[in-house]
Amino acid sequence: DGGITQSPKYLFRKEGQNVTLSCEQNLNHDAMYWYRQDPGQGLRLIYYSQIVNDFQKGDIAEGYSVSREKKESFPLTVTSAQKNPTAFYLCASTSGQALNSPLHFGNGTRLTVT
């Protein structure tokens, strides 16, 4: 079955370390997204990519970086510059640029930085 795979489900890191979250999709979707979820704040967009080798900053891109070298992969790196990295991170994809295309989400990665 097609879907979005995020790994790992739980991730623990020490403060000051960079960490990379994996997101792979086999839906042949062009666009991919990274959202951050904090309690009471809903989902906030970090980065998105509408095509391979291209990506744009979302609303809270500071302290994060991404790459889109392959259509199926969109890894997110949380750098040591991110002040409050502990959160639930969700990756999503959609088939095209049509406004009515719903996003498909992965199961998320819960990152804890101590």
Partner 1 sequence: AQKVTQAQTEISVVEKEDVTLDCVYETRDTTYYLFWYKQPPSGELVFLIRRNSFDEQNEISGRYSWNFQKSTSSFNFTITASQVVDSAVYFCALRGDFQGAQKLVFGQGTRLTINP
Least separation in angstroms between CB 80 and partner 1 = 26
Does residue 88 touch partner 1 according to CB under 8 A?
A: yes
Q: Rounded to whole angstroms, how far apart are CA atoms 44 and 41? A: 8
Out of 55, 108, 111, 113, point to the residue binding partner 1 (CB under 8 A): 108
Does residue 100 touch partner 1 according to CB under 8 A?
A: yes
Tokens of 38: 């904090």
Mode of pairing for the β-strands spanning 104-105 and 87-94: antiparallel
CB 33 within 8 A of CB 57: no
Out of 92, 93, 111, 113, point to the residue binding partner 1 (CB under 8 A): 92
Q: Rounded to whole angstroms, how far apart are CA atoms 102 and 65? A: 24
Type of residue at 110: R
Least separation in angstroms between CB 60 and partner 1 = 12
Return the sign of the alpha-carbon dihedral for residues 55, 4, 20, 99: positive
Does residue 107 touch partner 1 according to CB under 8 A?
A: yes
Nearer to partner 1, 58 or 75 (CB): 58
Instruction: Summarize as ranges the residues that interact with partner 1 (CB under 8 A).
Output: 33, 35, 40-45, 48, 50, 56, 58, 88, 90, 92, 97, 99-100, 102-108, 110
